[in-house]
Amino acid sequence: MVKLLLIIALVFPCCVAAQNDVYRLGPGDTLFITVYQEADLSFPGKISQQGFIDFPLLGNIKLNGRTQAEAKSHIEKLLKDGYLVAPRVSIRVTHYRPFFIYGEVRSPGSYTYQPDITIEQVIALSGGLKDRASRKDWTIQRGLNKTVFQANAETIIQPGDVIKINKSFF
């Protein structure tokens, strides 16, 4: 029984984090959008700072904050409205927006996103911690609503994250 409770305690936080970490498109993401059997409607595009992509035939479409599945469904719906009978769209992110790190690191700034990169690896990329840096007090600001939460060495970074490494007081 104790082993079962231990396993649940270890697995449950991971499951909760996985549900909250659904990737949402945002400004700076570069996409390749394909409309099956419609070569003129297949193109690469970058989401603007306002959250739009310029789509042939449809004009500016807001994709900011949508998952890839939501964006696909939205574009298919727009194409069905007077343009195509049964459009089939696929969306691939070809280049993610950068993430940012600041505070008590040697080289703060923006860095190119790499899938499955942890905060520990991000700290290494940014030159390591300064002498007065906290070894635990790290926060991440994420998403459209700019949710701030505590992070640890194994926290997975997402594109657009803003990481703050605080000073240690001891």
- pLDDT band (50, 70, 90) for residue 115: confident
Q: How far is 69 from 81, CA to CA, in rounded Å?
A: 19
Q: Of the residues 54, 70, 95, which one is the last residue of a structural domain? A: 95
pLDDT computed for residue 170 by the predictor = 66
| CB atoms near residue 166 (< 10 Å) | 14
If asked whether residues 142 and 104 sit together in one domain, one would say yes
Mean pLDDT over residues 108-122, rounded?
A: 93
pLDDT computed for residue 18 by the predictor = 36
CATH of the domain at 159: 3.10.560.10
Tell whether 17 is covered by a domain: no
If asked whether residues 91 and 113 sit together in one domain, one would say no
Tell whether 12 is covered by a domain: no
If asked whether residues 73 and 106 sit together in one domain, one would say no
Tell whether 20 is covered by a domain: no
Tell whether 119 is covered by a domain: yes
User: Per the structure block, which two tokens stand in for 106?
Assistant: 């040697």
* Percentage of the chain lying above the pLDDT 70 cut: 87
If asked whether residues 139 and 82 sit together in one domain, one would say no
Mean pLDDT over residues 144-165, rounded?
A: 92
pLDDT computed for residue 17 by the predictor = 37
Q: Of the residues 64, 95, 126, which one is the last residue of a structural domain? A: 95
- pLDDT band (50, 70, 90) for residue 98: very high
CA distances for 16 relative to 8, 124, 131, 140, angstroms: 12, 27, 34, 17
Domain count, the chain: 2
Q: How far is 54 from 137, CA to CA, in rounded Å?
A: 41
Q: Of the residues 95, 111, 144, which one is the last residue of a structural domain? A: 95
Pairing of strands 162-167, 99-103: parallel
Full residue range of the structural domain in which residue 64 is found: 30-95
Tell whether 131 is covered by a domain: yes
Residues 6+ apart with CB under 8 A from 99: 110, 111, 113, 122, 157, 158, 159, 160, 161, 162, 163
Rg of the Cα trace of the chain?
20
Tell whether 47 is covered by a domain: yes
Q: 2 pLDDT exceeds 50?
A: no
Q: 169 pLDDT exceeds 90?
A: no
Q: 113 pLDDT exceeds 60?
A: yes
pLDDT computed for residue 23 by the predictor = 84
pLDDT computed for residue 111 by the predictor = 95
pLDDT computed for residue 5 by the predictor = 35
Q: 1 pLDDT exceeds 50?
A: no
Tell whether 149 is covered by a domain: yes
Tell whether 140 is covered by a domain: yes
- Over residues 7-60, the pLDDT tens digits come to 433 343 333 333 345 789 999 999 999 999 999 999 999 999 999 999 988 999
If asked whether residues 82 and 110 sit together in one domain, one would say no
